[in-house]
Amino acid sequence: MEAERLKRLEAAARQVRYDIVEAIGNIGIGHFGGALSIVEVLTVLYFSQMNASPANAKDPGRDKLVLSKGHAGPALYAVLAQKGYFPRETLFTLNQGGTSLPSHCDRNLTPGIDMTTGSLGQGLSVAIGMALADRMDGRKNRIFAIIGDGESDEGQVWEAAMAASQYGLSNLIAFTDYNKMNIDGLTSEIMNLDDLGAKWRAFNWNVLRTDGHDLEAIDRAIDAARLESDRPTMIILDTIKGKGCSIAEGKLSSHNMAISKEQKEKALGELSAAMGELS
């Protein structure tokens, strides 16, 4: 990736992270950890890979994303605001009465959201239906889906895994946000996913694995997934829950965490400093 493009992506990701911390920090509680762990993949998708913008929001041929781990909504909202789907100020209505930005993604309320999600395990199935429809109608776009590692405990995920490979949906590219943490403890202790790549390979998916915080690596992985012609692709992203925010990073408590005014200011200060270094 040329340096200029990488620099733009880095700046976009930092802004997304800053906006998540500010939006959740303003209300004092939210799904911090799981939102911060997918900042890089969302940035690469919307600022490098996906043909999706407010201008083509109604075009059936656009690329679409199902964020199946719907509790990470605040991360996607920050990206959509930066893309111009709605004003940045809207981010600060997060979770409040009458908002268009609820804690979990809602297609009925938020411009740019392609599917309502929140009850874990349901998103990949819907993504399959969308991919089947696009293929049937001869559209060349891609359907992207992001599931969580804890979400992978849900049986429906594996129903969907079988169906996507049965139908050879090469137009479906999915990601697992493998941040190794559930709500109640480490994923390895709650319900061990063991060799996650081997599981998806056994379901006959094309499986790639990469550092989920490396923008270039994610971009390359998606480029590689686009070359697959017979099977769906699962890109396992090794991530850190709460990434980039010292009060949350790598902490089990970060799933739905309370954050004080002081903590918010400290976190925003760190992120501003990092943004300064970048420019």
Partner 1 sequence: MAEITGTTWTCYDSNTMTQAEIYGRVLTELGEKDPRVVGVTADLANSTKIGVFGKAFPDRLFNVGIAEQNLFGVAAGLAKSGLIPFASTFAAFASMRAAEQVRTDICYQNLPVKIIATHAGVAFGQAGTTHHCLEDIAIMRAFPNMTVIVPADGIETANAVRASMDIPGPVYIRVGRGFEPKFHASEDYGFRVGKAQRFREGTDLTIIACGIAVLQAAEAAKLLAASDGLSIRVVNMHTIKPIDREEVLAAIRETRRILTVEEHSVIGGLGGAVADVIAESGKGCAFSKLGFNDEFSVVGYPEDLYSHYRLDANGIADAVRAIMGRDFEEDESWEDEV
For partner 1, give the closer residue by CB, 36 or 161: 161
Inter-residue contact 244 to 39 (CB < 8 Å): yes
Single out the residue of 166, 246, 260, 272 in contact with partner 1 (rule: CB under 8 A): 166
Q: Of 159-167, 222-230, 243-251, 269-277, which segment contacts partner 1 by CB under 8 A? A: 159-167
Q: Cβ closer to partner 1: 162 or 183?
A: 162
65 in contact with partner 1 (CB under 8 A) = no
Torsion sign over Cα 132, 136, 139, 140: positive
Examine residue 116 and tell whether it contacts partner 1 (CB under 8 A): yes
Give the pairing type, strands 206-211 and 233-238: parallel
Indicate whether 190 belongs to the interface with partner 1 (CB under 8 A): no
Tell me: does residue 163 bind partner 1 (CB under 8 A): yes
User: What is the dihedral sign for C-alpha 65, 69, 75, 81?
Assistant: positive
Residues 6+ apart with CB under 8 A from 71: 31, 34, 35, 103, 104, 118, 256
Residue from 87, 136, 194, 277 binding partner 1 (CB under 8 A) = 136
User: What contacts 213, CB < 8 A, 6 or more positions away?
Assistant: 39, 40, 239, 240, 243
Task: For residue 233, state whether it binds partner 1 (rule: CB under 8 A).
Answer: no
Spacing of C-alpha 63 from chain mean position: 15
167 makes contact with partner 1 (CB under 8 A): yes
The structure tokens listed for 134 are 């696009």
- Confirm or reject binding of residue 102 to partner 1 (CB under 8 A): no
Answer for which of 55, 89, 108, 276 binds partner 1 (CB under 8 A) is 108
Task: Determine the interface stretch with partner 1 among 27-35, 91-99, 115-123, 251-259 (rule: CB under 8 A).
Answer: 115-123
Residues that bind partner 1 (CB under 8 A): 60, 107-108, 115-116, 118-119, 121-134, 136-137, 155-156, 159-160, 162-163, 166-167
